[in-house]
């Protein structure tokens, strides 16, 4: 299926990928950037891994800056440099669950989560099963991996 938003998606996702470079480095978690846009294309929030807490994920950090009942989240798009996590040890809800609970209609990401910390991430599949449009832009995956090269094992996780 052709993405009618491709040009805009690439620009916004590129910014999320750049945002991941702001993350304090960790040997136990990926560096990820996330940006939320409402249905009208207005940026609502942004966040990055470990921005406010050593275990905060980028998607979680961006959403923490918004009211839980913000109606603009219904129909919003989340741009994340990494596929949203589907399993999480550090919090009760995964980023996939937080996205579903918030009412996003679209998620755009660059890099599928490798099995470095969790085997078989199912974020994309769980979102799609619940009717969220998921767009992967693999052309930006290498840039999204850049702040995480210290975590990747011999290129296996690419």
Residue pair 92/119 in contact by the 8 Å Cβ criterion: no
Q: Which of 130, 135, 143 is nearest to 97 (CA)?
A: 130
- Residue 155 inside a domain? The answer is no
* Tens of pLDDT, residues 67-113: 988 999 999 999 999 999 999 888 889 999 999 999 999 999 999 99
- Residue 140 inside a domain? The answer is yes
Q: How many domains does the chain have?
A: 1
Residues forming the active site: 59
pLDDT band at 117 (very low <50, low <70, confident <90, very high): confident
* Tens of pLDDT, residues 27-65: 999 999 999 999 999 999 999 999 999 999 999 999 999
- Residue 104 inside a domain? The answer is yes
Alpha helices in 20-94, H assignment, sequence order: 58-64
Strand partners, 108: 79, 135
């Amino acid at each position: 299926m052709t993405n009618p938003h491709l040009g805009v998606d690439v620009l916004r996702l590129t910014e999320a990928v750049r945002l991941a470079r702001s993350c304090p480095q960790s040997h136990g978690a990926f560096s990820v950037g996330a940006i939320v846009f409402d249905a009208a294309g207005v940026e609502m929030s942004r966040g990055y891994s470990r921005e406010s807490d050593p275990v905060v994920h980028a998607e979680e950090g961006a959403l923490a800056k918004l009211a839980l009942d913000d109606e603009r989240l219904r129909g919003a798009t989340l741009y994340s440099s990494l596929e949203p996590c589907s399993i999480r040890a550090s919090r009760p809800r995964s980023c996939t669950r937080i996205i579903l609970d918030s009412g996003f209609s679209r998620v755009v990401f660059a890099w599928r989560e490798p099995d470095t910390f969790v085997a078989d991430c199912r974020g994309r599949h769980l979102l799609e099963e619940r009717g969220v449009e998921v767009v992967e832009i693999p052309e930006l995956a290498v840039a999204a991996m850049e702040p995480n090269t210290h975590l990747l094992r011999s290129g296996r996780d690419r």
